[in-house]
Amino acid sequence: MFAAHAAFRRGALATARRGITTSRTALGGADEPAYIHAKHMYDVGATKNRKLVFGLATFSVVFLGTAIPIYAINFQQSKTQG
């Protein structure tokens, strides 16, 4: 009985250890390829058509910030009308 229990524990420990690896990480952290363009990424002054880009972005945020609640209110009220 004890031998079967010990064999089961050895098998369970081997299964539990199978998913843990200690090898090299797969490029998901603070490595060079992730930050290759970081120097120029947030250079707002060098953005082409800056007024157009930020104007469209501002308009989109304001439009969606008002259109989504209005649609949600109309949808809820249409459900209560029956």
Looking at this protein, which amino acid is placed at residue 67? A
- Structure confidence at residue 14 as a pLDDT band (50, 70, 90): low
8 A C-beta contact, residue 44 and residue 50: yes
Supply the pLDDT for residue 9.
73
pLDDT tens-digit series, residues 21-70: 666 656 555 556 556 666 777 778 888 899 999 999 999 999 999 999 99
Instruction: Give the Cα-Cα-Cα angle 46, 36, 39 (nearest 5 degrees).
Output: 35
14-23: average pLDDT: 60
Supply the pLDDT for residue 73.
97
Domain segments of the chain: what residues? 30-82
